[in-house]
Structure 1
């Protein structure tokens, strides 16, 4: 945060990321609304007048406040809340997914023109108008309801920080979630298991590493992020059924103090054994770098003649000409999903994401062993449920992994 020099008139500036006007007075940033708008200039002039009065009175009373501080705008609240969200929510594979969702929800408020308005003037009817804007974006009912909840959370934060009176937040609580069948609201389809034939078609097109990742998820019911996070140091291979202790930064339920253990049966072990050779304990098992190295080594071994000088020269020219793209040391869930989607297109089948393989695994586990074992294997049990069922069901889960995974 910049600080104006004593006696220097505060400058009207442009916050480019949000296209807002901003001015810094006494070390505090005040957001004035859309940059260049008449309203932002009026708020700026009011601030400067208040600042000049303070310059004339070097020891103002404790109750003397700048005018905009009394009624912060919605834009000021949005910027303060986004800063809080980025610090509050944990990263998952290097990304703050909740912050991205919050940003989408708050952008809808600004698109409806409420940004420059005083935050304490935001009423239930205004939230309903914002929700109508979300409906126009064709967001699904479930996602839309969650976005409205995120907006309410922002105003709860504003009450906690004494930016708006409590009545503002309590008024917004009157807005209920949209019910199934609401006219004009898109209903998202139920997520179903991937057809087995579609999985087989993708496996035929996939390279060895993507094929191994898909099969590991198929046999164990692991989430895509858990598959990507696999390292030898997280594996206990001392028993017939291996266990994979998911690290906290890749454990979706870590925020609830739940540990995540994946049981790796003989079929999944067979998939992994090839990739566990010649690897350090803290290296990622599924690494684009390793896959490229193994592919190049296989090509070199299969070549029957030595490369000619002209071939080597052309290879060096291509390296200089083409931009360098550094491969990452591991896949992330998004890269894994994109790879599978491209393979679906190549195989001519409907697109599916790796996370749906959990539905395949869950269906198989539940059909043969019941819902309790399926919850343990998929990591869906609550803390209270784990206390009741974890001890007896761990043995059942390991037996299920021996039979099916």
Structure 2
């Protein structure tokens, strides 16, 4: 199969069935008949079926009374894979979120006909999520994604029209009024818990931590930074990520980098303009060079540098960090920094230190500082929010000012 073949060559051809003198075509291994071959409407029905078949992702169109929940999930997944993409063609995080939401649904109701799936079934799936230990806010989000799938199914005539309105009657879980566990609000990280991990993380990870504190950017925006995305013509550099969280809403995202951030970033700019500034591959290469430099065994003994590297490892270092990968690197640094004396290696693998924090909290650090020093509106612009109400979620209130005011009031 060559790249020059067109989509037309993949469309099943219209055939003639001699015994019944009907026009038919084979879609996904199943023959579909369109009436007598001498009837002009048979050709029209064929082209209509082909158009619907292509629109549904080359899957056969099933009647709402016949399709199961598992089949609906499969067709919605094909749609999600093609719809939730960045401008460069890479997938957003939404397909992963959809997959997590559909797992308990498929487990409990995969073989159920969609026409028989109602509010009680949706509440049963929700209870399954609660039993799995998923927090209340995540349960609500996953239930909304299930409802979104049924809404999509109604629009594509895969689900009866009365199903989606019925599912909307299931209210979301309220704080303190459901058995689902609650998570603590995201708080800023104490500065001493940040500084202590510097010797235990790579230069790339430490630079990302510092930049996040100085720019209030999301970790997902910084890990994809490239020199070509940074305007260095002014005193303040302006970084425009090639994709970001609100890009699909048509919003622009400008990240401002001041003198201190520029000094941190400058060593990572000496590379091709379209390559990533912070590369795990470079981090691993630097680690190996450092280990070779500090090697105690003479080079004429033992392994020569590079000879014990796996040629085909199961996991390859990527071209740039991901938010999840950055979080893992930070956690490793925290565990090494706070490891109690005498802890065995087996205990260390599963140990979670009480000083644990994740990179997303650094955005809260920056937001709280910006609000305290420059006000809510400035913090909103720098964080890239469209509404100050969102900024208030990130920026902690200055409780000290409130207490000072009460002292003055008496």
Residue 330 of structure 2: aligned partner: 340
CA–CA separation in structure 2 for the residues paired with 1:141 and 1:322: 42
Out of 382, 385, 400, the residue aligned to residue 380 of structure 1 is: 385
1:91 touches 1:97 (CA, 8 Å); kept in 2? Answer: no
Contact 2:134 2:181 in 1 (8 A): yes
Q: How does 1:149-228 map to 2 (within 5 A)?
A: 149-228=144-223
The Cα of 1:204 is off from its aligned counterpart by 3.4
How many Å apart are 1:126 and its aligned residue? 1.3
Q: 1:117 and 1:290, CA in 2 relative to 1: closer, same or farther beyond 3 A? A: closer
What does the per-residue CA deviation read over 1:268-321, in whole Å, with 9 as the maximum and x for residues that have no partner? 112112222x32222211123334455566778x7899x75556x633642478
Give TM-score scaled by structure 2 length.
0.72
Residues 1:282 and 2:274 aligned together: yes
2:27 pairs with 1:27: yes
- 2: distance between equivalents of 1:324 and 1:172? 43
Separation in structure 2 between the aligned mates of residue 262 and residue 82 of structure 1, nearest angstrom: 34
Q: Is the 8 A contact 2:119 2:170 kept in 1?
A: yes
CA shift in 2, pair 1:237/1:73, >3 Å: same
Q: Give the drift of 1:96.
A: 3.6
* Residue of 96, 100, 116 corresponding to 1:104: 100
Q: Distance in 2 between matches of 1:28 and 1:370?
A: 60
Q: What's the secondary structure of 1:243's corresponding residue?
A: strand
Cα deviation, residue 326, structure 1? 4.6
Structure 2: 5+ residue stretches without partners: 1-9, 18-24, 46-59, 339-352, 391-410
Q: Secondary structure at the match of 2:125?
A: helix
Aligned positions of 1:2-401 closer than 5 A: 26-28=26-28, 69=63, 70-91=65-86, 94-112=90-108, 114-248=109-243, 251-276=244-269, 278-294=270-286, 308-310=299-301, 314-315=304-305, 317-319=307-309, 323=313, 326-348=316-338, 350-382=355-387
Three-state SS of the structure 2 residue aligned to 1:154 is helix
Cα distance, 1:334–1:303 mapped onto 2, change above 3 Å: closer
Q: What is the distance in 2 between the residues matched to 1:105 and 1:192?
A: 27
Task: Using the TM superposition, give the Cα deviation of residue 57 of structure 1 relative to its aligned residue in structure 2, in angstroms.
Answer: 9.5
C-alpha distance 231-57 of structure 1, shift in aligned 2 (>3 A): closer
Q: Please list the CA deviations of residues 187-206 of structure 1 after superposition, one character each: whole Å capped at 9, or x if unmatched.
A: 12111111111101112322
Q: How far, CA to CA, are the matches of 2:286 and 2:61 in structure 1?
A: 66
SS in structure 1 of the partner of residue 152 of structure 2? helix
Residue 272 of structure 2 aligns to a residue in which SS? Answer: coil
Cα distance in 1, alignment partners of residues 78 and 67 from structure 2: 16
Q: C-alpha deviations, 1:122-141, integer Å up to 9, x for none?
A: 11111111111111112111
Greater share of helix: 1
The residue aligned with 2:346 is none
Quote the Cα distance in structure 1 between the aligned partners of 2:316 and 2:77.
32
CA change 1:201–1:184 in 2 (3 A) is same
**Is the Cα–Cα contact under 8 Å of residues 3 and 28 in structure 1 kept in the other structure?**
no
CA distance in 1, matches of 2:290, 2:76: 52
Distance between the aligned counterparts of 1:255 and 1:189, measured in 2? Answer: 30
Say if 1:92 and 1:107 are closer, same or farther in 2 by CA, change over 3 A: farther
Helix, strand or coil: the match of 1:190? coil
Cα shift at 1:145: 0.8
Q: Say whether the 8 Å CA contact 2:380–2:387 is kept in structure 1.
A: no
**Residues 186 and 166 (structure 1 numbering): CA distance in 2 closer, same or farther, change over 3 Å?**
same
- What CA distance in whole angstroms lies between the structure 2 residues aligned with 1:205 and 1:193? 21
Distance 1:128 1:26 in 2: 40
List gaps (5 residues or longer) in structure 1: 8-24, 31-50, 386-405
